[in-house]
Chains A and B, each alone.
Chain A
Amino acid sequence: MTAFLLRRFGALVLVLLAMSIAVYGLIGLMPGDPIDLMIASDPNLSPADALRLKALYGLDRPLLARWWAWLTAALQGDLGYSRLYGQPVLALLGPRLLATLALMLPSLLLGTLIAVPLGVLAARRPGGVADRAADLLAFTAVSLPSFWLALLLIVLFAVQLGWLPAGGDGGATVTSAVERIRFLLLPVATLTILTAGALVRYVRGAVGEALAEDFIRTARAKGCGEVRLLVDHALRFAAPPILTLLALHLGALVSGALVVETVFAWPGMGKLVYDAILGNDFNLALAALLLVTMATLLANLLADVLHAALDPRVTLDA
């Protein structure tokens, strides 16, 4: 186990290094640099100023030299400044990460709490009411664009009924936790529907397969109660693939949900990464993407460990 973890952590470092080169290179290859974009919005910017600014921002240096300068500074704990927000990158990432966790964690929990029981019930009686409800939820989540679902909820609960705020996180003026929660309800509801819809089909499928196994028939013949049969036997058997899927979803806790964050003006990581890439903000984009990569890799690692823990046929040191 220890050797496995050490190997995986070593690989994680290498992947992060490779990602930093790839991301830096890709952003560098994108057309235009920050000064070109500045010129486009200010026709009075003189050619002399444009050249001066390119030199000042180091944009006249080769990409590799800029990456190396970034890496050496980053290894000393300096992730640089965000050009888009005029703030140190580290100072920006903290609040955005918390905001994204506040959005994604409840959505994942609620989505799981809805999807697992519904999926189990749907698998128990294919074609029954629960199965149809699971189908409806799954197709809704797959078919409805997230921005449309978000706007629908805004129009209903914020514009028509006036019960909940249409977006934002309450800003600096809102201090109480209860008020802050009001701003979370609609985006969390949107993401919960999407998460539950995506999960419920997997749960139904995995539990359905389990229910077809011989040991279920044996348990039933031995007089095992229905609830115990579903929870202790079928769900336990189906747990490894479901937990693996959930662990992979953990990566999204950090990467955020771009569309939902944009529609609800929620200041999370998804929007931050998107703006950083479009705005040619190297430092911010790089740090945010590496954080997302690291979270995804760690989530993968967790999935492997969980799989091994739940399924005795899987060993990590093999």
Chain B
Amino acid sequence: MRSWALMLVVVLPLAAEAQDGRRTLVIGTSQYPSNLHPNIDSMAAKSFVNGMTMRPFTAYDERWELVCHLCEELPTLENGKAVRETTPDGKHGVATTYTIRAGATWGDGVPVTTRDVLFTWEVGRHPQSGVSNAELYRRLWKVEALDQRTFVLHDEKLDYNYNAINDFRLIPEHLERPVFEQDPATYRNRTLFDTDPTNPGLAFGPYRIVAVRPGSEIVVERNPKFFGEPPWFERIVVRAIENTAALEANLLSGEIDMIDGELGLAVDQALAFERRHGDRFTVLYKPGLTYEHMDVRLDNPVLADVRVRRALLLGLDREAINQRLFDGRQPVADSSVHPLDWVHAPGTTRWPYDPARAAALLDEAGWRPGAGGLRRDAAGAPLRVVLMTTAGNRTRELVQQIIQSQWRQLGIEAVIQNEPPRVLFGETLSRRRFDGLVLFAWISSPENLPRTTLHSDAIPSEANGWSGQNYTGYANPRMDELIDAITVELDREKRRALWAELQELYAQDLPALPLYFRASPYILPRWLEGLVPTGQMAPPTYRVETWRATG
């Protein structure tokens, strides 16, 4: 009897906890941020949390259009808030004027001002501050504060996205300056974002952090100082559960209310979940900019022949992969540009499944059917390529097996040789130590120019310290010209034409074999409304104040 009483004492609080659900939202994700400083390294989990506690000046929204979050109005050449100028050293630059939104206030009551802008710029461009992506801060040769809320950024380059300052994320000058000035080289370890993350003065978004358990969860509560509409939920808990089976179990048992789309289940897992529990949850599949493809080692003599690359793509039934594995949720890619991106060129050459044409191309390239069902060259060497991907990624491994099987039907042997992500990305790709093809993905933002992946000056080598992400070794002077031209072309229609040519060149040269664009599956409770995924690097939490419980 006593043991049953003890059991009830232990078990009953669960029911009471569930009643609190409608003003508290518990979100499950598979990743925990490495730190909470908005400018020290880039990580989806961190963007997700920071999207609730602060806002960037600008970001791409769910329609993939640039919008103001912390600024009043986007500066453009047309509205006169962006003005061409020449820098002191003679470069063609631009001066853009932004005004901080009225009422923007840090959680401790200190107004967000241009002092914060100037300090953020100072930290961002300091070589020892630890800010990872400092390109934007370095390009700004001067920042002027016109008053408490208005400032001018003087950029040494006038490029097509001159008014997108998505990476300029404010940090509070009144709190962080003493920490930074004490020693800029160790600032990244001493920033209050990590040593005192619950300090209300670190947030100006709809929520502020009230509790952090490193590696486990972050709890945010309403920020009474938020300048916008007060959010519906009083408290949001972001809980990291790395194992996806455990993530599902937590959702089903009510421990968490929803699973984030960017850091949760893969599409095939979400489809299986939906089949079993679709009556209890809403599953949103947001088409996204994550581009799954196979990088091709272009200095491999076999793969250097564009006819072979084209045949490899023609021999793949990518639409069948999409339909059978992903229920049609992950559209086939023709290049690195997503069909929903405004620069996408619908007329670009496509390589749909056509095994007869693939066979003809291979014949033409000198690879004829031979012994063992494999195509062989004149010397009798088999057509064999190494196909790698990230070991342990179930979806990719499944796709890889289908690719292997489809190519086998063409007489091509794909030798699977997978590596853990750390080895694949940390060594094999970055040091260009692969010999055939590597299946992986790039995540990007709308109208993202593939400079680091396609420009010839981004080929990693010992000479440049293995920097750059052009792992294929692709070098086409016309591609370089197009990338350089798009960078500085401000006329939208002229840029569209350049983009079309870039996509056509990509489709003809096939430095990488496009597979599909990933979708992000959000698993939401039926009572949750207002969550709109963006499908790109901007997290849905930039609109967290519009989320609400109904019913």
Contact = CB atoms under 8 A, between A and B. Distances in A.
Q: Do A and B actually bind?
A: yes
Interface of A: 30-33, 36-54, 56, 81, 83-88, 92, 95-96, 147, 151, 154-155, 158-159, 162-169, 171-173, 176, 178-179, 181-182, 185, 262-265, 267, 271-272, 275, 278-280
A176 B213 CA distance: 17
B307 interface: no
B386 interface: no
B527 interface: no
Interface string B212-229: 111111010000000000
A49 B452 CA distance: 13
A84 B34 contact: yes
B5 interface: no
Contacts of A171: 211, 213, 216-217, 219, 237, 239
Interface stretch (B104-112, B241-249, B493-501, B528-536): B241-249
Contact of B253 (A38, A56, A154, A172): A154
B342 interface: no
A51 B10 contact: no
Given A47-B465, A263-B246, A264-B246, A182 B13 contact: yes
Contact of B255 (A36, A37, A165): A165
Contacts of A49: 132-135
A37 B34 contact: no
B376 interface: no
B267 interface: no
Nearest to B240: A265
A151 B237 contact: no
Contact of A92 (B34, B214, B448, B453): B214
7 contacts: A31-B427, A39-B469, A45-B132, A46-B452, A56-B185, A163-B11, A165-B14
A31 B423 contact: yes
B127 interface: yes
A165 B465 CA distance: 49
Interface stretch (B37-45, B363-371, B515-523): B37-45
B79 interface: no
A36 B426 contact: yes
B14 A154 contact: no
Interface string B26-42: 00000010111100011
Contact of B213 (A52, A53, A172, A279): A172
Interface in B17-74: 17, 32, 34-37, 41-43
B6 to A, nearest CB: 10
Contact of B34 (A86, A163, A263): A86
Given A163-B11, A178-B10, A265-B241, A32 B422 contact: yes
Given A36-B466, A45-B42, 14 more contacts: A31-B422, A31-B428, A36-B430, A45-B452, A49-B132, A49-B134, A49-B135, A53-B132, A54-B465, A81-B189, A158-B252, A168-B241, A178-B13, A264-B246
B10 A86 contact: no
A179 B14 CA distance: 8
Contacts of B219: 171-173
B217 A168 contact: yes
Contact of B35 (A45, A86, A163, A265): A86
A155 B249 contact: yes
Contacts of A278: 422
Contact of A181 (B10, B213, B215): B10
Given A166-B249, A169-B216, A173-B211, A38 B239 contact: no
A168 B194 contact: no
A40 B425 contact: yes
Contacts of B249: 151, 154-155, 158-159, 166-167
Nearest to A52: B127
B250 interface: yes
A9 to B, nearest CB: 32
B202 interface: no
B135 A167 contact: no
Contacts of A32: 422-423, 425-427, 430
Given A154-B253, A265-B241, A182 B14 contact: yes
A169 B132 CA distance: 33
Interface string B119-160: 000000001101011110000000000000000000000000
A264 to B, nearest CB: 7
A38 B130 CA distance: 13
Contacts of B352: none
Contacts of A95: 213-214
A84 B213 CA distance: 13
- Top 10 nearest A-B pairs by Cβ distance? A32-B426, A47-B467, A86-B35, A31-B427, A172-B211, A40-B425, A86-B194, A158-B253, A166-B253, A265-B241
Given A171-B239, A265-B216, A265-B246, A33 B426 contact: yes
B13 A87 contact: no
B458 interface: yes
A53 B467 CA distance: 12
Nearest to B20: A173
B214 A85 contact: yes
A93 B215 CA distance: 12
Interface string B452-485: 1100001000001111110000000000000000
A44 B194 contact: no
Contacts of B11: 163-164, 182
A32 B132 CA distance: 17
B44 to A, nearest CB: 8
Nearest to B428: A31
Nearest to A50: B467
A56 B128 contact: yes
B241 A37 contact: no
Contacts of A51: 465, 467
Given A158-B253, A182-B11, A185-B10, A167 B246 contact: yes
Contacts of A56: 127-128, 130, 185
Contacts of B250: 158, 166-168, 265
Given A39-B430, A44-B135, A162-B253, A271 B423 contact: no
Given A52-B134, A265-B241, A265-B243, A159 B253 contact: yes
Contacts of A47: 458, 464-465, 467-468
B528 to A, nearest CB: 19
A30 B243 contact: no
B373 interface: no
Nearest to A84: B34
Given A33-B426, A265-B242, A44 B215 contact: no
Contact of B42 (A42, A83, A84, A172): A42
A85 B240 CA distance: 13
Contacts of B32: 85
B429 interface: yes
User: Considering residues B215, B217, B425, which has the most beta carbons from chain A within 10 angstroms of its beta carbon?
Assistant: B215
Contacts of A163: 11, 14
